[in-house]
Amino acid sequence: MNIAQWCGKYADLDFNNETALTCVEEFKDIVDGKSLILYGAKIIGESMCNLLHEMGLSVCSFVDKNYDKIRELCGVIVNKPEWLKTIDTEKSCIFAMVDPYNLSEVISYIDSLKINYSELSDGHSAHSVLQTAWCTIKNKQNIPIDPRMCMNCSVMKLTCKALKLYLMRIMDFDVETATGTDTQKSIGYSLAGICTLKCKDCHEMTPYAKPSRREYTPKDVYFSDMKKVLESCKFVTTLEFVGGEPFAHPELEDILRETIKYPNLGLIHIFSNGTVIPNNDVCRLLSNPRIAVTLTNFAEQLSLKQREIFERVKKKMKESNVQYIVRFLTTWTESNSFEFVDDNVEKLKKRFSECRFSSCRRLAYGIMYACQHDYAGELTGLFPLIDNQVKVHDFSAEELAEALEEFNNREYFNICNYCQLPDKTKAIPAAIQLQ
C-alpha cells in the first residue's frame, strides 16, 4: 500500500478508536525506513511536521522555493527544491504540503527540475486523514488536545469532529438535551472595521471599509448577534475574532468575559497582528484553556516601533500563560477582486468544495455572510447584498435554525462567481502597506 491508496482507504471514514489505531499503524508501516520530506514550508507543512514529531516520527527536511527566507521550521532545515537531486528518492516519502488545487503545479515544477521520484504524495490529504485519526486516539485516551495545533490544521476547514468531541468533553456539554442546527460549526465575528496596519491586499479589506463601518463593533451588538445565533445551534466548535485588530477593541475585556460563559460554544480563536499590547485584565481572560491566539508576524512590513511592540506582546502572552502561536507570513493569496468569473453551476460547485474558506462564515451587525469575501463586499460597499446572507434577527430561534441549516448546506453561493479563489489567484507579498 502507498500513501495515495492509504488516503483513499481512510479519507471518508468516520473514525472510532479501533479504526484510528489501524490507520496510524498502517501509515507508520508505509513510511518505515524512509526519509520523510515535506515540500512546502508554510502552514500546512508546519502542521504535518508537528504531527509527525508528536507521533515519534522524524522529518528529514523541508523543501521550499523560499528556503533562503525561511531557513528552518519546527527545528527542521529548509532546503531548496534542487536539493532533491542529491538524495535517494526511492528511499524517501515526499509529501506536497500544499492545497490540493496547487498539487499539479508542484508536480510540474519538480518535473521541470528533472528530479526522479517514485511518488509525490498529496500531503494535504495525508495530513487531514492522519491528524483526524491521531486526535481520535487522543480523545479516547483522555489526552488533552492543544488548541494551538488546531489553529493551522488542514482538518479545520471542515471544523474537526475530534476537536468538537474534545471540547464538549472538557465542558461537560450535554449533547442529548441540545437543540438547534448542528451545521453551524464555526463563526468568524468581525469585531472592528479599524486596524493598526493598512495592508493593501488585506483579505478582510479593512483599509477600504466605507466610512459608516470604520468603527469597533459595539459590545451590545456583538452580544445580541451571538445570543441569537447560539440559541439556534446545538454546538459551535469555533468562534474566530477577526478585524481589524481585535486587541485594539476598547470593550474586548467585557466581550471575552461574556463569551467564555456561552455553554454551547467551544474554542475561541483570536487573530492579531501583534501591534497592540492587551492589558492585564484581558490577558487574564486570554489564559482560559478554551482561548487561543494567533499572532501573525509581518516583520518585513512593520516599523521598528511595531516590531518592538510585537516582541512585548509575545513576552506578555508567555508570562500570562496564554495559548498562542506565532505565524510568519511572507506571501498571501490574492483574493480581493470582485471581477465576474462567469462559471457554470458545476464549476462553481467544484470551486466551492475546494475553497479553503468554504466553511468560513462571517457574522457582523446581525448578518451571517457566506465567507470573508462576501463580508468584505458589504464592508467596503464594493458588492451589494445578494442571497449569500442570513439576517439572523428576522427569525425566531426555530426558524433561524432552519435558515442556517439551508444556508450551510448550500453547494455554492452567488458570491463565488465574483471571487478568484481557489484556482484563479496568484501568490503576492504579504502585508504591503498603503502609503
Which secondary-structure segment (H or E) carries 265? strand 265-272
- Examine the domain organization and report whether 368 and 248 are in the same domain: yes
Question: Region 326-337: what's the mean pLDDT?
Answer: 86
- Residue 142 inside a domain? The answer is no
Boundary of a domain, candidates 130, 162, 193: 130
Q: What is the reported pLDDT for 19?
A: 96
Mean residue pLDDT across the chain: 93
Strand-strand pairing, 367-369 and 92-96 = unpaired
Boundary of a domain, candidates 73, 101, 130: 130
What pLDDT band is residue 359 in, cutting at 50, 70 and 90?
A: confident
Q: What is the reported pLDDT for 158?
A: 53
Q: What is the reported pLDDT for 171?
A: 95
- Residue 192 inside a domain? The answer is yes
Give me the CATH number covering residue 338. Answer: 3.20.20.70
Q: What is the reported pLDDT for 418?
A: 93
- Examine the domain organization and report whether 282 and 383 are in the same domain: yes
Which secondary-structure segment (H or E) carries 37? strand 35-39
Q: What is the reported pLDDT for 362?
A: 95
Residue 306: pLDDT above 90?
A: yes
pLDDT tens digits along 111-165? 999 988 888 999 999 999 999 999 999 999 999 988 888 877 767 655 688 889 9
DSSP class of 432: P
- Examine the domain organization and report whether 306 and 227 are in the same domain: yes
- Examine the domain organization and report whether 83 and 224 are in the same domain: no
Residue 198's nearest CA partner among 168, 243, 232 is: 243
Residue 376's nearest CA partner among 342, 415, 410, 340 is: 415
- Examine the domain organization and report whether 112 and 183 are in the same domain: no
pLDDT tens digits along 226-284? 999 999 999 999 999 998 999 999 999 999 999 999 999 999 999 999 999 999 999 99
- Examine the domain organization and report whether 254 and 191 are in the same domain: yes
Question: Region 370-380: what's the mean pLDDT?
Answer: 93
Contact between 175 and 395 (Cβ < 8 Å): no
- Examine the domain organization and report whether 219 and 107 are in the same domain: no
- Examine the domain organization and report whether 91 and 202 are in the same domain: no
- Residue 78 inside a domain? The answer is yes
Residue 364: pLDDT above 80?
A: yes
- Examine the domain organization and report whether 284 and 213 are in the same domain: yes
Give me the CATH number covering residue 10. Answer: 3.40.50.720
Residue 88: pLDDT above 60?
A: yes
Range of the domain at 272: 178-429
Question: Region 196-212: what's the mean pLDDT?
Answer: 94
Q: Is 208 helix (H, G, I), strand (E, B) or coil?
A: helix
Contact between 355 and 421 (Cβ < 8 Å): yes
Q: What is the reported pLDDT for 103?
A: 86
Residue 347: pLDDT above 70?
A: yes
Residue 134's identity, in one-letter code, is W
DSSP class of 153: -
Per cent of the chain over pLDDT 70 is 99
Total tally of structural domains belonging to the chain: 2
- Examine the domain organization and report whether 112 and 184 are in the same domain: no
Residue 33's nearest CA partner among 4, 60, 70 is: 60
What pLDDT band is residue 330 in, cutting at 50, 70 and 90?
A: confident
List the single range of 91-95, 114-118, 284-288, 320-324 with lowest mean pLDDT.
Answer: 114-118
CA 338, CA 93: separation in Å to the nearest integer? 40
- Examine the domain organization and report whether 204 and 109 are in the same domain: no
Which DSSP string corresponds to 384-423? ---TT-EEGGGS-HHHHHHHHHHHHT-S--GGGGG--TTT
Question: Region 51-80: what's the mean pLDDT?
Answer: 94
- Residue 402 inside a domain? The answer is yes
Residue 163's identity, in one-letter code, is L
Boundary of a domain, candidates 72, 95, 130: 130
Q: What is the reported pLDDT for 37?
A: 97
Angle between helices 17-31 and 123-140 (to 10 degrees): 130
Calculate the dihedral angle through the C-alpha atoms of 194, 219, 298, 196, rounding to the nearest 10 degrees.
Answer: 30
Question: Region 364-389: what's the mean pLDDT?
Answer: 89
Residue 195's identity, in one-letter code, is C
CA 8, CA 4: separation in Å to the nearest integer? 6
- Residue 206 inside a domain? The answer is yes
Q: What is the reported pLDDT for 352?
A: 92
- Examine the domain organization and report whether 114 and 188 are in the same domain: no
Place of cell 479593512: 206
Residue 426: pLDDT above 90?
A: no
